[in-house]
Structure 1
Amino acid sequence: MFDTFQTKTCSPAVKASGRDVGEVAGTTLFIGAGAGDRRLEAVVRTAGFDVRRAVSLAEADLNPDRDDIDLIIMETLPGGHVDFTACHQLAALRMAPILVMAERDDETDRILALELGADDWASPVCGERELLAKVRALTRRRARVSRTAPNPNTVRFANWQLDRITRELRREDGVRTVLSTAEFDLLNLFMRNLGRVLTRDEILSSSSHNRARNERSVLVSVFRLRRKLGSDGAGFDIIRTVRSVGYIMDTPVTEG
């Protein structure tokens, strides 16, 4: 399934980090053909990580219960294009932070990759020290999450954590807010239909809005929920309007 590499050589930038490369720091999975910029692979290897490779997400055949991955690095497709579908699918698995290694510094691609769940983006102009810093920051974040015991009553998405018992939303920066019954039910409706556009009629027919029976109630509930949730941290609304159709939430959600 994977090709595996290890190394004990160390570049000056990695030596400056103070990491003992004699110890395996974790496992990094590269997904892609590997025909582009290979500097990041060299940084990861010399930083002490066990490196695995798969040409595609399908070949990787990832299983959260079986595979222990600390960092996922997505390389671009032939022609320099980012596999946005794979990026979104990987983010939904919530196995490890995702870093996209691009062959060109395209703002539209960068924004879309981050919106679809990538944790960071490395452009061709990034130096070796910056690449190392990105790897270390993402793996530190992974370590912090791993030390936190999962809570079966919580769900996480974007920069929010929802407590299903208290209906309290807690943002990463400490901001807290409590959802009304209608807002809580509406959020659960979006999470059950993640990545699918919900029409106003579908929202009206949901159990939480049966009493209202009017389109205005849908607009008010969606407006209040969107105002509380805000953006995903990258400047994009968590619940977005699809003009003339309805609303969509496609931010990856994880339990616990």
Structure 2
Amino acid sequence: MHLPGQARHGARVLIVEDDFEIARMLSETLVENGMAVQIAESGAEMDVLLRNGKFDLIVLDVMLPGEDGLSICRRLRLETTIPILMLTALGEEIDRVVGLEIGADDYVTKPFSARELTARIRALLRRTAYPSQERARPKVLRFNGWQVDLIRRQLHDPSNARVATTTHEFDLLLAFCRNAGRVLSREQLLGVTHAGLAGPIERSIDVHVSRLRQKIEKDARDPVLLKTVRLGGYLFTATVEEA
């Protein structure tokens, strides 16, 4: 699908949407806000564009011809940490939770306003950009052999292998590292990570914590580093060092 006026420079957004009118509206709105946009009508077209270019964010519709958006999101999360905003007509909480569980960074249901979607895209882009004030802080945090690269926003395990994380997972881990030994409530974590953008569902934090445990704990069912505090929230028990 090709739409005019997509050559402007700025954040590079890939829209994966087979509805022409929705794609046109989104494209025009984002271009007006200084972003560069390309559109794919299916997962196959998306793959071609990803091979041939770099993008800062993907807006991904759930209902697509062929491979659906949830399957695409799950596949992308095995390969990349690019922020993914899911777009769907489904509005039940279970659908939002599924989207978060497979690695989506935000979830917007139709009908939606272009202004709201643009605001959410900008919020995701701000959190994935490396803030200038961060340069005065440590560049790497270490705990139990793990390394958190603040500049590249990457997580490396004790063998130095990179472990893929979503935007929210990385923000959540960063919040825990900077508050090690302190109980953080779900409300505090929602404020730090903006994980509630997908809807007013406190469970979104539990979903992200669960996914994070699967990556950093030896046994996610019996967590040692990231403990649940009954009626309190979560406690990160590791000793964190700055470098």
Alignment-derived partner of residue 59 in structure 2:
73
State the 1:25 CA deviation.
1.3
Query: How high is the TM-score relative to the length of structure 1?
Result: 0.52
Alignment-derived partner of residue 9 in structure 2:
24
Q: Helix, strand or coil for the counterpart of 2:89? A: coil
Alignment-derived partner of residue 89 in structure 2:
103
Name whichever of 131-140 and 23-32 sits farther off: 23-32
Alignment-derived partner of residue 144 in structure 1:
130
Amino acid at match of 1:131: L
Q: Helix, strand or coil for the counterpart of 2:12? A: strand
The CA RMSD measured in Å over matched residues stands at: 4.3
Classify 1:123/1:41 alpha carbon distance in 2 versus 1 (closer, same or farther; 3 Å).
farther
Rg (Cα) greater in structure? 1
Q: Give aligned-pair identity as a percent.
A: 24
Greater share of helix residues, 1 or 2? 2
Q: Deviations over 1:25-64 (max 9, x none)?
A: 1211112313463443332121122211222223322697
Alignment-derived partner of residue 172 in structure 1:
175
CA distance in 1 between counterparts of 2:36 and 2:127 reads 18
Kept in 1, the 8 Å contact 2:42–2:64? The answer is no
Alignment-derived partner of residue 117 in structure 1:
103
Alignment-derived partner of residue 165 in structure 2:
157
Out of 132, 138, 151, the residue aligned to residue 118 of structure 2 is 132
CA distance in 1 between counterparts of 2:36 and 2:75 reads 23
Query: How high is the TM-score relative to the length of structure 2?
Result: 0.54
CA distance in 2 between counterparts of 1:52 and 1:46 reads 14
Classify 1:175/1:118 alpha carbon distance in 2 versus 1 (closer, same or farther; 3 Å).
same
Kept in 2, the 8 Å contact 1:98–1:118? The answer is yes
Amino acid at match of 2:165: F
Which runs of no fewer than 5 residues in structure 1 stay unpaired?
A: 9-22, 162-168, 178-189, 192-207, 209-217, 236-256
Q: Which runs of 4+ in 1 moved over 6 A?
A: none
